[in-house]
Structure formats: structure tokens, C-alpha cells
């Protein structure tokens, strides 16, 4: 399922226009992104939790040349599925 498929499904399920569903989805993604950018956590009970984890700088290796390279530190997004979501999928 891609973004437009999700918008179509949201519009059909909620009985709203595709424009309203698109606005709702974009609002969700914008707010989750903004919260994570500030270092916060987003938890939707029964579905899951998004959080930020810091990945330290490290030395890697270019497989083509065999040379060592420095990989910069960065923040990575983690998602931990909630129990209800995990049970629904399994």
C-alpha cells in the first residue's frame, strides 16, 4: 500500500473526501516528524511508539576498494509495535 492507496482507504472508511483524508494523513506525518525532531516520543496506545535513537560515529569499509571510511553519527527513527498491533498481524 502506498500513500495514495492509504488516502483512498481512509476516505472510504471515514466517509470523508480524499482531500480531507490527505490533509489528515499529512498532519499526522508532520506532527510525528516535528515531535521526533525535538527529541520527543510519539506513542499511540495499541499501535506503537516512535522514538529517536542516536547512532554513534563508526569506521566502515568500502566493499569495492577495501578502504576504511568514517561513517558520521546520526539520529535514527525506531518504531516499536504495540501489543494490539502485533497480535493483529500475527
Percent of the chain with pLDDT over 90: 99
| 39-90 CATH choice from 4.10.520.10, 2.40.50.140, 3.30.1330.10, 3.40.367.20 | 4.10.520.10
65-80 pLDDT per residue, tens = 999 999 999 999 999 9
Q: What is the mean pLDDT of residues 52-60?
A: 96
What is the predicted pLDDT for the residue at 60? 96
What is the predicted pLDDT for the residue at 50? 97
What is the predicted pLDDT for the residue at 23? 97
What is the predicted pLDDT for the residue at 27? 97
Domain boundary assignment for the chain = 1-38, 39-90
What is the predicted pLDDT for the residue at 9? 97
SS (H, E, C) the chain: CCHHHHHHHHHHHHCCCHHHHHHHHHHHHHHHHHHHHCCCCEEECCCEEEEEEEECCEEEECCCCCCEEEECCEEEEEEEECHHHHHHHC
Amino acid at each position: 500500500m502506498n500513500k495514495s492507496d492509504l488516502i483512498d482507504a481512509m476516505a472510504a472508511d471515514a466517509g470523508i473526501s480524499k482531500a480531507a483524508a490527505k490533509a489528515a494523513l499529512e498532519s499526522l506525518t508532520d506532527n510525528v516528524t516535528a515531535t521526533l525532531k525535538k527529541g520527543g516520543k510519539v506513542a499511540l496506545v495499541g499501535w506503537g511508539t516512535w522514538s529517536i535513537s542516536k547512532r554513534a560515529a563508526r569506521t566502515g569499509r568500502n566493499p569495492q576498494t577495501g578502504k576504511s571510511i568514517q561513517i558520521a553519527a546520526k539520529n535514527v527513527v525506531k518504531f516499536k509495535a504495540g501489543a494490539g498491533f502485533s497480535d493483529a498481524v500475527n
